Amino acid sequence: GFALHAWRGMPVPADFLAGLATLTPDRIRAEENAELRRVMLEYYGYDRYLTDSGARPLHQDETGTLWRIDLVDDEPVVMVEVLNSTPEPDGTRRTYWLRVPPSTRTARAGVAWTFGLAAEAYAPAAET
For position 117, what pLDDT does the model report?
95
Global pTM value: 0.75
For position 76, what pLDDT does the model report?
86
% the chain with pLDDT above 70: 99
For range 63-78, the mean pLDDT: 87
Residue 104 has pLDDT above 80, yes or no: yes
For range 85-104, the mean pLDDT: 91
Average pLDDT score, the chain: 89
pLDDT digits (tens, 9 = 90+) for 38-62: 899 889 998 899 889 878 899 999 9
pLDDT band at 24 (very low <50, low <70, confident <90, very high): very high
Residue 73 has pLDDT above 80, yes or no: no
Report whether 81 contacts 95 (CB < 8 A): yes
Report whether 77 contacts 48 (CB < 8 A): no
Q: How far is CA 12 from CA 36, 82, 94, in A?
A: 7, 32, 33
